Every structure is written in structure tokens, then in C-alpha cells.
Amino acid sequence: MSFGGPPKVTIKPEPPIRGSFPLDHGGECKEAMVRYLECLESKRGSGKKCRGLSKEYLECRMQRRLMDRDKWENLGFHDAKEARPGGAA
């Protein structure tokens, strides 16, 4: 045991409750993400016109288990039903 050194404490990391999810290293949802970002750029940040593309991107991530499945209202789509984007159930 050395005196004056830092204590040896093991800290167990805990994942965040929300707001963080695995990166899409395989580019599985890149196409949906690019369409959404292009829409935002073309509409100069008017997100309401791009909401469908945002929902499509999140649905892609949920289908590929890049994020946990959640209710649309919890993801900011308070006016949306539980149907998938594009009308598919």
C-alpha cells in the first residue's frame, strides 16, 4: 500500500436513461438520415415540414435495434398514432 497515492476505487458505469444510443457504424439508416438532413437544410430549419422524414429515420433505428422501441409520443410525435411511417402497421 502506498501512501499519498490516489485511492483504488472501482466505479461501475451506468448507461444514460435517455438521449444516447449506439452509433450507426454500419450505415444502416444513413439514407434516411441524409434525406432528413437535406430536408432541414432546404427548408432552412423548418422541422415541421420534415417530421415524416424524422419519423422514418427513428423507425429505421428502432427496427435495426440501434435504439429501443418507444411510443411515438415519447419521441415528440404527440399527434402521431402507433402506426409506422408510410401508413404500414
pLDDT tens digits along 23-64: 888 899 999 999 998 998 887 756 678 889 999 999 999 999
Using alpha carbons, select from 57, 58, 59, 61 the residue that is nearest to residue 24: 61
- Asked whether residue 78 carries a pLDDT value surpassing 90, the answer given is no
Q: Extract the C-alpha cell encoding 75.
A: 419521441
What does the pLDDT average to over 6-14?
A: 72
Reply yes or no on whether the pLDDT at 68 is more than 80: yes
pLDDT higher than 60, residue 9:
yes
Chain CA centroid to CA 26, Å: 15
CA 67 → CA 3, 15, 29, 31, 75, distances in Å? 46, 13, 12, 17, 12
Q: Residue 88 pLDDT more than 50?
A: no
In the predicted structure, residue 5 carries a pLDDT above the cut 50: yes
Model pLDDT, residue 46 = 65
Query: C-alpha angle with apex 89: 78 to 68, nearest 5 degrees?
Result: 60
C-alpha cell at 56: 422514418
Q: Which residue has the higher pLDDT, 76 or 5?
A: 76
CA distance 50 to 64: 22
